[in-house]
Amino acid sequence: MIWHDKRYIYTLAFFYSALIVILVSIPAYFYISIEKQNYRHNRLQDLEHYAYGVERSINDFSRTRKKMFDFPRSVLYNSHVYGGDGKLIFATDHCGRGMADFAQSDLISKRIVLNPNRLGARYLVVAQPFSYRSIYTKALIGALFLGAIVFLMTLFFIRISLKPLERINRYLNTFFNDAMHELKTPIGVMQLNLEMLESEKPNKPFRRLRNAMHNITLIYEDIEYHIKQDHVAYRPESIDFSHFLSERVDLFRDLAQVKSIVIEEAVTEGLIIRINRVELQRIIDNTLSNAIKYSGKSTTIRIELTEEETHIRLSIIDQGIGIRDTRRVFERYQRENTVQGGFGLGLSIVKHICDKNGIEIQLMSTPGVGSIFTYLFNKLN
């Protein structure tokens, strides 16, 4: 089936947009560096132009007999006049800043050595607060705008490209639903006739037929649940876990006898849990069928159901081939041994059901020794 979950589409669009922004940021970095140099150069030129204007005003005043000097002022620049000893004579911002203080990174300044003048001034320093904030703001706005455009375009093209796949997916869903519906009747008829024939003395071919029918039913139920799990609400109900488990184990005994496998039970009676019956059946049937499938002949499978302080523990212990990668065994279509056949759906369905119902899974396995599947069910309050 084709997965077209919206979260996947948005995640793909987001990461693609982020990748584009990162790639664009490389030339943008050099562009910003050049822009910063030009910005500082232009501000410095304007500052120098104003400083020389102030110097010209001081020189003009020195050539006159005026008693009062109207010092030029600006809303953009601050002027500071110092004597030959470096002491401040006058400042337009009324700040007692020394000449060494103009080396700060947040200021841009121009110092001029003055000609002898009536003010007794030796140095003129004109300064202006300086920051690259406007450039960074423009770059950030540009990056966000570019990211948004790329994100929307990516989202649009992904949706357009998925249209044919979604149409195929709908056709597949319709086909599988119709196929499962058509299979349900003949499978039911075969099961009914096998139950009728069971009253006669069962022979070896009959047992093989019944076991084959059991495997077909198990596969059918897995596929049916896989198709319906996103569309059908499997509502929880109170179930006698002990009785239900014993019933399911009895159905698998004939399948185990074909390989001379002994199933041992240690089931505490009267344990009640709340879960949907179909989902509980999928957990038990898939785990037990795998235990039988991957166990050798004349081995033992032990099933334990016990009550603990906060949980009810179900453990299925086999002496099978074991599992090499216990982390991937619950992934969809993952199979430990392809020779044994199957679709690799069973344990992924189990994992989905456990996650949905808050059931903890514990798996211990040693290749060549066997596996222990443990499920911790919540107790009823």
What the chain holds in terms of domains, given with CATH numbers, is 6-134 (no CATH), 233-378 (3.30.565.10)
Among 350, 363, 351, 358, CA closest to 323: 363
Radius of gyration of the chain, Cα coordinates, nearest whole angstrom: 41
Q: Measured over all CA atoms, what is the biggest interatomic distance in the chain, rounded to whole angstroms?
A: 137
Please spell the DSSP secondary structure of 316-336, one letter per residue.
EE--BS--S-TTTTTSTT--S
What are phi and psi for residue 299, nearest 5 degrees? Answer: -110, -175
Tokens read off for 239: 């179930």
Query: How far from chain centre, in Å, is Cα 270?
Result: 41
Q: Are strands 272-275 and 311-317 parallel, antiparallel or unpaired?
A: unpaired
Tell me if 293 sits within 8 A of 346, measured CB to CB.
Answer: no
Entry pTM: 0.54
β-strand partners of 16 = none
What is the residue-level pLDDT of the chain in tens, covering all 381 positions? 344 456 777 777 788 878 887 888 888 888 888 988 998 899 999 999 999 999 999 999 988 888 888 889 888 899 999 998 889 888 988 777 888 888 776 889 899 999 999 888 999 999 988 888 888 888 888 888 888 888 888 888 877 877 777 777 777 677 666 666 666 667 776 767 776 676 666 666 777 777 777 777 777 777 777 777 766 778 899 999 999 999 999 888 888 888 899 999 999 999 999 999 989 999 999 999 999 989 989 999 999 999 998 899 999 999 999 888 787 888 765 555 544 444 457 888 899 899 999 999 999 999 989 999 999 999 886
- DSSP 3-state of 345: coil
The C-alpha atoms of residue 120 and residue 139 are separated, in whole angstroms, by 47
